[in-house]
A = this chain, B = another copy of it.
């Protein structure tokens, strides 16, 4: 029931398709951070003109996945702890707002959808398939944000998620143990479904802040380990 709509989607424009293709390669880690992008090369690979590629790259730059140095080069965005910190702090703020709005406006259909995606996360966690768990995790957040009825928030969040995935694959931020992950999400889901706006916002905020903490902690570990290797040793 969606396939028929796809014809009038904007995704048939060549520059969007090119952007989608390049985005996939960046987010999936095929193109590493700081990887240089040559307009001509991309144009050749995707069999479109340079102008089309240019248009695609500008879009990806607006999404934060690509950087441009005028007259000089395009490259894949850098990955670093600071970048990840920016993403998670932003994410916490945005998802807290979304959770609050979602709790305030939840309809029965919304609640059903929420239960559905949570059940999928539960199933994935039971299965133990990392990739499936990550997808289900993001999906649940996406649904909550979608429930906010806040167009700009939805759009910003989607961009953010793509950047998070990119950083994740390169910074190597591992998922928490599945039990905690599941209970965090269950609590968030329940708060939203029960219309407890303050609690939902708090949980969304906390959930993401916890990720930042872990990230920074791991980063410090790495640093001291590195210092240990070339320092006293």
Contacts and interface: CB of A to CB of B under 8 A. Distances in A.
A45 interface: no
Contact of A90 (B87, B92, B97): B97
Contacts of A87: 152
Interface string A39-73: 00000000000010011001100101000101000
Copies of this chain, count: 2
Nearest to A94: B93
Interface string A132-169: 00000000000000000011110010000000000000
Contact of A150 (B58, B86, B92, B152): B86
A90 B153 contact: yes
A128 B152 CA distance: 34
Contact of A58 (B55, B68, B94): B55
Interface in A154-189: 156
A150 B97 contact: no
Interface string A83-114: 00011011011101100010000000000000
A26 to B, nearest CB: 17
A97 B91 CA distance: 11
A68 B90 CA distance: 27
Contacts of A70: 10, 13
A93 B151 CA distance: 15
Q: Report which residue of A90, A92, A101 has the largest number of chain B beta carbons within 10 angstroms of its beta carbon.
A: A90
Nearest to A163: B152
Q: Report which residue of A59, A86, A151 has the largest number of chain B beta carbons within 10 angstroms of its beta carbon.
A: A86
Across chains A and B, which 4 residue pairs bring their CB atoms closest together, nearest first? A62-B62, A93-B97, A10-B70, A93-B93
13 contacts: A10-B70, A13-B70, A54-B55, A55-B58, A62-B62, A64-B152, A86-B150, A86-B153, A87-B152, A89-B101, A89-B150, A90-B97, A90-B152
